[in-house]
Amino acid sequence: MPFAFASASVGSSGVAEARLASPLNDRLAARVPHLLDLARRAGLDDSSAEDVVQGTLLAAWRKFDQLRSPERLDAWVDQICRRQCAATFRRRAPEVRRALQRQDRDRADPDLVAEGFDPTDALEQADRSVLVDRLLAALPARTRTIVEMCYLAEWPQREAAMALGISLAALEARLHRARSEMRRLLETRFRVEAEAFGLNLRVDPTVGWRDTREWCHGCGKVRLRGVFEDMSDGRINLRLRCSSCDYRINSGGAVNFVSQRSFRPALHRMHKWASAYLTDPRGRDGATRPCPSCGRPCALRLVKPSDPLAQRYEWTVITIVVECQPCDLIVNTTPNLLAWCHPAAQAFMTRYPRWVGEPESLVTLEGAPALCLPLRDRSGSARLRLFAHSRSLEILTSAAN
């Protein structure tokens, strides 16, 4: 198949484009064999690879003025090719999914284990095509693409990472988060449907999870259960959850608990880290935090339940969010976490161990916007309200009643 290049238009401002056309065409033509090989290694057949390379060349021509460093032309064109490969896969994903589901029609396994199990594989084997479609549709677009590539189309992870233009480590991290998100969706939003299809969702498996002495601070009814989990990079992650409500704590690997196996000191250590991380040491003008993974400065913002991001992740309260786009990482927590290390809050928590956090709200304090962080003793009428600056998240004052 011949590869065509966009011709340079010569008008009142087209002289420079005409001069550039020949060397640019020569450079792009020289990259064609490499781009074909790149597309084939991403899993495309010859015909699809040629279509992708054609689209790559056209996109490179049209967007050439966006290239800031001409010496990086080859790497830039490769990146365009990878994105074209990913776009081709996304267009074909529904057909691939239906074909795989037809192939597995006769295989059924009704048990879906919540921990250490691939939910996509279980759903395919059980031929729950409707639930598969709804589950995938509930995932963010980038997460859905990775699940379809690696679990439905069974791309090798290295080739999937190449097609998406990310590192293998970043792909593995996204897959880990995708599995966690799918388990969460199956345990919550789609639980009734999943059980109706015969899937046995064991939300609270006994292996690894232990009772703690910490009361749930969402409902105050029961004590939390916890587990220290091994992560793929060797770190240890802390997770706590309530069997009565949906209250959960997940350190996300931000604090490494390699030598920690007691929940109370581990929880205290995590809160101390989070308080220092969230509170801006530069004062009240800064609203950025470093990414815990790469260290880049990332904007910190308060997300209300009406925000599209909150609706995507089903956050029903005001949420503090630090999002790093290059790492595809979101650090999120409820504002009540700010109160943990404050002396007034510590005294309140010690005196009333069955305290619960009430919904936070945005208020006006001395003419400036602030966050109100209310705590309440579940067994009595004692209450404590702390007020934090809306940008720096510094605790400004407290009031007990």
pLDDT tens figures, 99-119? 545 544 444 443 433 344 455
Looking at residue 202, its pLDDT comes to 52
Looking at residue 16, its pLDDT comes to 36
* Best CATH choice for the domain 104-201 from the list 1.10.10.10, 3.20.20.70, 3.30.70.870, 3.40.50.970: 1.10.10.10
Residue 358's region, left for phi above 0, alpha for psi from -120 to 50, else beta, is: beta
200-201 and 111-112 beta bridge pairing: parallel
Report whether 253 contacts 367 (CB < 8 A): no
pTM value is 0.49
Q: In what order do the strands lie in the sheet with 223-230?
A: 210-215, 223-230, 236-241, 248-250
pLDDT digits 0-9 by tens, 133-191: 778 888 888 888 888 888 777 777 887 888 788 887 778 778 877 887 887 787 777 77
Distance CA 34, CA 52 (A): 12
**Taking residues 74-83, what's their average pLDDT?**
82
Q: Where are the domains of the chain?
A: 15-89, 104-201, 206-276, 338-400
Say which residue, 305 or 45, is predicted with more confidence: 305
Residue 44 pLDDT exceeds 60:
yes
| Straight-line distance from the first to the last Cα atom of the chain, in angstroms, rounded to the nearest whole number | 78
Cβ contacts of 385 within 8 Å, gap of 6 or more: 372, 373, 374, 375, 398, 399, 400, 401
pLDDT bucket at 22, cuts 50 / 70 / 90: low
Mean per-residue pLDDT over the chain, rounded: 76
Looking at residue 151, its pLDDT comes to 77
What CATH class is the domain 15-89?
Answer: mainly alpha
pLDDT bucket at 204, cuts 50 / 70 / 90: very low
pLDDT bucket at 43, cuts 50 / 70 / 90: low
Give the SS3 label for residue 30.
helix
**Residue 67: C-alpha distances to residues 36, 61, 64 (Å):** 22, 10, 6
Looking at residue 135, its pLDDT comes to 82
Looking at residue 344, its pLDDT comes to 92
**Taking residues 271-276, what's their average pLDDT?**
84
The residue behind tokens 């969230």 is 278
Residue 374 pLDDT exceeds 90:
yes
Residue 265 pLDDT exceeds 70:
yes
Report whether 278 contacts 289 (CB < 8 A): yes
**Taking residues 372-393, what's their average pLDDT?**
90
**Taking residues 329-352, what's their average pLDDT?**
87
Report whether 52 contacts 36 (CB < 8 A): no
Say which residue, 251 or 173, is predicted with more confidence: 251
CA nearest neighbour of 396 among 356, 367, 355: 367
